[in-house]
Every structure is written in C-alpha cells, then in structure tokens.
A and B are shown apart, each in its own frame.
Chain A
Amino acid sequence: MFPSVLNTTNASIAVTVAPKILWIGFGVVFVFASVMSIILLYHWSNYGYKPIKTGIIGALYFTGVVILLGVVFFSIVSYLGSF
C-alpha cells in the first residue's frame, strides 16, 4: 500500500541565501577576528619579552588574517554576483 523507499533524490529545494545573511555572517567573523587580534596585539606589545620576535610573529599573524578575511569577502561578492 505504501512505498517502502521514498525517492527523495529528485525532490531538492532550491534555496537562495539572502545577501543580508551573508554580510551579517561576514560582520560577525570580522568582529571576532578584530577582537582576537586586539587581545593578541595587547599581549605581544605589553608582555612580549623581545619586541622584534613578537613583531615578526605579529606581521605573520595579520598577513594570514587579512588574506583569509579577503578570501571570505571576495567569495561572498563572487557568490552574489553569480546569479
């Protein structure tokens, strides 16, 4: 009487992610990264025993953060431009 196997593979729903949600998400990540960066920078500048070494590490850290935030930003822009 009832089908034993439901054919669900063809029943997919098309979803459009609203730009607002994407930008709010990016904002949350940006604020989180900024707060963590300020905390780390404070520690390196106030408690770092050798400023040169913490300077190099700081540069490395910020390079990584900027690159990754940039990738997120341009991925969102590219996604929104792909409709």
Chain B
Amino acid sequence: MSAEDGSPLARRPRDRSAPRRSGQFEYPTYDYVTPAEQRAGRIGRHPVVVVGGGLAGLTAATDLGVRGVPCVLLDDNNTVSAGSRSIGQAKRSLEIWDRLGCGDRMLAMGRSWSKGNILRGDKLLFAFGLSPEGERKFPAFLTLPQYYIETFLAQRCAAFPQIELRWLNRVVGASQTDDHVRLDIETPDGVYGIEADWVIAADGVRSTMRRCLDVPFEGRGFVDRFVIADVKVSTSFPPQRMFWFEPRFIDSRLALLHQQPEGIWRVDWQLNPEEDAEEAADPEKARARLAKVFGPEVDFEIQEISVYTFDVRRVPAFRQGRVMFAGDAAHQLSPFGGGRGGNSGVQDIDNLVWKLALVLDGKAPDTLLDSYNAERVPVADENMALSYRSAEFITPTSAPSAALRDAVLRLAPAVPFARSFINTGRLSVAATLRASPLVTPDADEWAGPLAPGDAPADGPVRTATGDADWLVRNLTGGFTLMLHVERETEMAEAVGTALAALADDPVPVATLILVSAQGERPGDATLADETGQLRRLYDLTPGACVLFRPDQHIAARWRAFDIEAVRGAVRRACGESVT
C-alpha cells in the first residue's frame, strides 16, 4: 500500500502556505506538562510505560486504558505523525480500534475502496474486488491517514484517568534488571528517570529502545527509491486503487494513486536511478514536476512530499526481558507490502496488551508474555517474505527477474491465470495463530473457513432490544463464550447455571447466546443470527460453542458445551501448561 515509514532520504514538510494542516486536518498541539516525578525530584515506578506515540503506541495506551491498567506513554513530539505515512487501515485494525471505542469515528471519516485496478500504460491488466465473505461492519480497507487515527486514539485516552500521555518526553537511556526497566527521559525541564515493570517499545523504525538495549535489527535494505506525495487536488476520481506499471502521465516505471478524505490524493512513484533525492523532494521542483502530471486545468497543492528507500528487518525476539517490542520498532516492512506495516503493529498490540494485563493482575504467569513472541514473530516473518516478493515483482533486481515479470505483464490482459502472478502487494488480512501453543486443537469435526487461532469472522446480528448490530463488536475484551441454540428457551437450565459459574471464575468468561431468531422475551446477552451467516461461517450446530480470547481470536470450539473443557482452554490460553 503506501509508505509507512521507510527510511526517508529527503523529507519536506507541508507547503509553507498551509502550515500545520493537511486538507481540513489541523495538527493538534499537545500540552507539555512537567512530569510529577521530575518536579518532585524522585524516581517514579509505573506498571507499564509505552515508548512512542505512533499508531502502535497510542493503540497500546488506549487498550491499557480500556483494560483498566495504569500506563505512562512517552512521546518525543507534541503532535501526531505528519502526513505521508500509513493510510490503508485494514479491517482487522478497524475491528481492534472499534473494541477500543474509536471504530465508528474512523468509519465515518475514512474512504473505503472495494476495487483495485492494475494497468500497464493505458491497458488494464487486472481488476480485483475486495468482496467480503458476507456482510460485516468494516470494509477490507479504509483509506484514512495515520494522523486522524492517532488523533482519535489520543482523544480516547483522555477518557481514562490512569493513562498519562507525556508529550516532549524523549527517551535517552534504557537498561533493565530482572525486576524492572529503568528509563532516562529528556524533557524541556532536563533529564529525569523512571522505572517500569514492563515497557512496550513502540518507538518506530529508528527505535531508541532498540539502540539502548543493543538489540539487533536484522534483514536487508532495498536500493530503489520512491517518492510519496500527499497532494490536495481540485478534482476527484472514483474510489478505486489505481496502480500503473509504466504510467503515461509521469516519467517513472510505476505509480500508485489512492484517494484520501478531503480531496487529498496519495501519489507514489518510483524515482529513476539518475534522479537526485534531494532535488525530487524540493518543493519548487516537485511542484514543477507535478504540474506536468496534473496539467493546467487542475489546481493542486502539495501537502507533504518525501523520498524514501525501505528496509525489511526485524528484531530477533519481540520480548527482550521486560521490554516488548512492537510495530516498526520490532519489524520494518516494504511500503508496497499491502498495508502490512501499520496494520501489523496494531495487531502486535492487540496480541500483547491483554496478556500484559493478566500478568500484572497476577492471573497468568509471566511466561504468557513469551507467547507474544511465539505468536507474532511468525506473522512478521510471513509479512517480511511477502514484502520481499512484492518488492521483487515491483522493482526486479536482475535481468532474468525483469524478464519473468515481463512475461506475466504481457500475458495478463488476455490470459486469466497470469493475473494471479501480478504482485503489487498482497493486501493485509488478519493473521492466523493456528500453530500457537495457546490454542486448543479441535477434538470434534468442523467445516467452514475458520479454525482455532483465527481472528473472528464478523456478521450481522439482531440484539435483544431489536437493534441491528455486529458480532465482533460484542466480543468486548475478556474471554467470551459464544453458545448457539435455535431458541433461547431450548437452553438447558444446567447450562445456564454453568455459564453463570464461568462468569465468576478468576479469569471470567462472558457468555453470548447466539440464537437463530429472537424469542419473545430475549435475555440481554442474546444475539440473533437472522441471516444465518454466522452459523455458516462458524459451522454452528445447536449446542456448539466457540471460545474467543480477549483479543477476539478463536481459542477453542466444541460441538457441545462442557464447563471443564472451557476452563481448560482458558487456562491454556493464559499460558498455563496443559497436562
């Protein structure tokens, strides 16, 4: 998709004529407040410190807020990320932010696209649809710039008194013992120290935490350079993703167009080898170049332009003692990887925070945090492999590789199978954790697309009060057991008693009764699958139940309810060894 972070070679801020804004968006300025312990001249101790206030860091702070865990977030700036960053928000990220209470605002503000077109010059090679499997609340992708997401999350954090966002707090030193992490932080008032039980290091590609703790960042760099520009344009085009090989409107081997909210176009193109990066990002030269792209009839204004290369790297282990690396600090991906950079960072956090909350609460052993590594490293590796592949297709590194790609591009217009080889980034989909040790393998026979370890499938439901709603929105952050019965009246009394007992367990399990249609006096926790979509996707027969983890992934499922089986699966998902 579009550039996440990359390694900017040259970056110019928005036009001087339009300072501190992108389209209608005004960059917020967050107040710096002298931290309490700095003022008091003592060392504070906090259960969780989040380093970095980008997509991953702010998602972490909000998730900790929702879960009632106190947290201090440190950011070296006092506003949100300036333009030219992540714009493609995947369905799974949107579901996560919906759980945190921000989904509706994002949906209202973003632009969804459901079709992508890949062209060579004027010729259409391949048009693809992002057709969902059934109905669901969020589209496969929503175009909404990172600065909106971060603003919404920062606003949401204000609802939680135990969450403290500290702006203009830059980490300059970090070390750890078995017992805690020590951070040295520079503010406008000087340097102060704090201690943390746990640190989430979400401080980006050039992570200070990585450097201070001497954690390697392994992988390789790519030499191709790309220009990424956010341009306010006086016209609009249909909400489709446009990718050109050998575009006719710009002197480049490829170009990519997305339409963002408020009339801003994201334009990416590859810099030719002989071009100078500084020159390409120079506002006047860029303006002259884009004037030839847009022509005299179209008004445009450059909001942000940068030239970057990218690396594909990761840290060897995401858990380093008491420090959990997440997002770009943990793994860097190709900007053409299908929107995997920002979105995989959000999924890192979704995977990590509930585990941290249980460990802090004394309800799970701290080895549960090793599963963060076990579950997210394979996902990062898959994303890296996909990054390598799409990068090689988009910018072949040898003559034979270019020849193979040329074969695909020549065949594609007329030969259907060849289109499947066109790889301009395999779009981010929710990671599956099927091989995770936390997942209870099936003991029964199941059909359908889902398996334990998968992210939830969404679908429409009717609530007890008769409102239209969605399933995933009702998986609210703890363990949830979804039990299917045709009618609520058909549920055995003993089952009801057992479900009530589960809700009182040390790690409580909430219950959601999925009926085929609402009865006359439905219970509060009853949802009706009127369309049958959920029964089909989850392969539900009467009496079947599905256990969702606090991050909504499927932990286990059974054809029939058994309270001890549910308790065993919860213990397993909480990292207790299974006998």
A interacts with B? no
